[in-house]
Amino acid sequence: MQKTYLVNGKVTYPQQGGSLTTFHFISPENGGAFTVSTTENAEADSLDYGDKVNVTIEKIVETEE
């Protein structure tokens, strides 16, 4: 399943010598929303408010050994 979302919020907080950035994503199609956080600066710098992103959802199938 693949869906398109907009970055609807981005907040960076200082945290123990580093930082934590939280992104809020919203679906323009149905209003569904979710958040994702990162401590990686490269990830935090890669998105900004208003950017469109594609999200792919795949089921993880675990096999017994």
Per-residue confidence band for 9, with pLDDT thresholds at 50, 70 and 90: very high
Per-residue confidence band for 65, with pLDDT thresholds at 50, 70 and 90: confident
pLDDT more than 90, % of the chain: 89
Residue 14 identity (one-letter amino acid)? P
Instruction: Look at residue 23 in the predicted model and tell me its pLDDT.
Output: 97
DSSP string, the chain: -EEEEEEEEEEEEEETTEEEEEEEEE-TTT--EEEEEE--HHHHHH--TT-EEEEE---------
Per-residue confidence band for 5, with pLDDT thresholds at 50, 70 and 90: very high
∠ CA(2), CA(4), CA(20), 5° rounding?
A: 105
Q: Could you report the per-residue pLDDT of 14-44, keeping only the tens digit for each?
A: 988 899 999 999 999 999 999 999 999 999 9
